[in-house]
Amino acid sequence: MRKFIKNYLATVWSATHHILLAIVCAAVVMAPDHIVNLFNGGYQTRFSIATLLVLTVLFSLALLGSTTVFLCLAGSVVFLQFAQLLHISYFGSLISPHAVILFFSDYAEIVETLGALPGYLVIPVLVAALEMLLLVFLFRKTRHLHKQIPFAWMAILALMLILPVQANNPKATAQQYYPNPRNYSVANTFFAVSYFLGRDLPDWLGEDQARPSSSMACEPYQSVRTGDPLADNVVIVMGESLSAAHMSVFGYSRDTTPKLRALVGSSELSATIAYSAGVSTKVTLPMFYNVQREPGNFRHMIRMESSLFRFAKQQGFSTHYVSSQTANLATYVGERYIDHFVTKEDMEVSMATRKDRVLVDALKNIDLSQRNFIVLHQRSSHSPYDQQYPPEFARYPLGGADYVDFTTNSYDNAVSFTDEVVAEIIDHLKAHSQGRTLLVFTADHSELLGEGGKYGHTHLQIETARVPLMVYGKNLGPDVQQRLYGLSQPTHYEIGKEISAILGYRVVNPNEEPGIYYVNGPDIGGRAGYMTIDKRVSPPRSTLIQDMSVNESVCEINAAKPVTVSVDANSLSPFR
């Protein structure tokens, strides 16, 4: 009996030691991200129990394998982290799936650049070297305590192949594998590499390698500083899933936006229809905030050379990004240039009761006597609509309603709450912003509420891109207000160029074809299709491009005339 207990305790101690060592190895990998947080304001990593568990499982298996197995896993993890930290050091942004394939097309330029600028390598190399040395030290010092399982490497390989295999599914989209500013560097890089291995690499190898990549096909933009900014406080309110067709300010039968309608009626607010850059949030946001016209132009997006946040930061603005949505939607919005980054994860307690009014609360905490560039991203008209507004905004009944009525009524209630929140934001700016003030209110995309039997917003059709554009100005010069007031059915790209001009920058896009604009589909690379909007004719014409391959971009196929489906031109006419 004593021998049994002794053996049992020895086994428990061995297992406990093994698990603790695996946890320590995981902590060694995770620690550098938190250290970088202290020195890089644009780095947003937060502790994740899920990442800790995954790394602990992988290192537990590696400790059961041979020395070669452990070194391979440790080396792979360290390299993934090194690549992410190097990308952040040089580009100031996170690695996306498409950034991986850009490396293979631009590797000569990248290697030459890094060779000429070794300063970018110092911190990533030091972190990687110290991390690898520490992992090897831990392994060697405890090697005598490890039990070996012959095929531990197979379990590790099986686990690491899960994401690449899922990425090969035709239903998988690139944005599902895009980095989250709050995630650890090793996790973000692994997601990006998994998409590359599962989707981009097979497609890329199956195509003509002599053809230029999408990044090389598009010429780089130029940003020219034109002078001092023309406003002191610039506020962008980004609505969520907001259909102009359900706003009374644009003629909807229900009075869902009485406060905005009154402001338009008193000429304090301008209102027109606009067209979003995409039909999903994760596609639209990076294209809007980087003033990007072309689907698939990843080089431009990654480098953020015409980022609105960058322009604001360079002009001395304090930059704020406050979102009622999760941080993973903010990839490539310009996080490197954001001073104050706040998302749903930071406000969950207050959001439970305040809903989108947390954005008003955040605005009230900003000193408007200084220059500010502020983005407030809403949630209120996103599904499930009935959970996005306080009870007092349940103006249209839900009880006993069928699916169609329930959906429409709950959505209209959510739009009514949006009306209230935006009006409160404008009221606060009126009362407390004494300088030159500009507010731009639009939405990331629209929403279908039964049109053609469809619901939601990932459908690539013109109704899903039709969003509001409202502009409020205070103490602005007449020419400044007219820049945005005078836009006719503008696209997000055109709106972004005008905001850039107000920030004191001119965006020069050599790829631009006058009058031709785009609405990207639910895949940021254009694989789910995109729409071309031709504003050279009246009314504008829309054409649906069914697909774009991994090596293509609109920069090289403008005249290629792939299979298209024309949309009724009359459906592009504004309704107000």
What pLDDT digit, counting tens, does each position of 249-291 carry?
999 999 999 999 999 999 899 999 999 999 999 999 999 999 9
* Residue-wise pLDDT tens digits, 128-183: 999 999 999 999 888 777 677 888 889 999 999 999 999 998 888 777 888 888 89
Range name among 21-25, 196-200, 228-232 with the lowest pLDDT average:
196-200
Model confidence pLDDT, tens digit, residues 463-475: 999 999 999 999 9
The predicted structure's pLDDT at residue 574: 34
Are the C-beta atoms of 436 and 228 separated by less than 8 Å?
no
Give yes or no for residue 517 having a pLDDT over 70. Answer: yes
Residue 366's pLDDT is 98
Where residue 549 falls among pLDDT bands split at 50, 70, 90?
Answer: low
- What is the per-residue burial (b if ≥16 Cβ within 10 Å, else e) of 106-141? beeeeeeeeeeeeebeebbeebbeebbebbeebbee
Strands 372-377 and 455-456: unpaired
Strands 372-377 and 340-342: unpaired
Q: Which band of pLDDT confidence, cut at 50, 70 and 90, is reported for residue 208?
A: very low
The pLDDT score that the predictor gives to residue 265 is 92
Do residues 273 and 244 make contact, with C-beta atoms less than 8 angstroms apart?
A: yes
pLDDT at position 481 is 76
pLDDT above 70: percentage of residues in the chain: 87
Considering only the top CATH level, what class is 225-511? Answer: alpha beta
pLDDT in tens, 308-333: 999 999 999 999 999 999 998 888 89
What rounded mean pLDDT belongs to the chain?
87
156 in Cβ contact with 64 (< 8 Å): no
Q: What is the pTM of this model?
A: 0.83
Measured between alpha carbons, how far is 450 from 246 in angstroms, rounded to an integer? 12
Dump the DSSP string for 392-442: GG--S--TT--HHHHHHHHHHHHHHHHHHHHHHHHHHHHHH--S-EEEEEE
By C-alpha distance, which of 244, 188, 183, 200 is closest to 524?
A: 200
How far is it, in rounded angstroms, from Cα 568 to Cα 565? 10
Name the residue with higher pLDDT: 389 or 452: 389
Q: Are 415 and 452 in contact (CB under 8 A)?
A: no
Residue 108 pLDDT greater than 70, yes or no: no
Q: Where are the domains of the chain?
A: 2-205, 225-511
Query: In whole angstroms, what separates CA 458 from the centre of its chain?
Result: 16
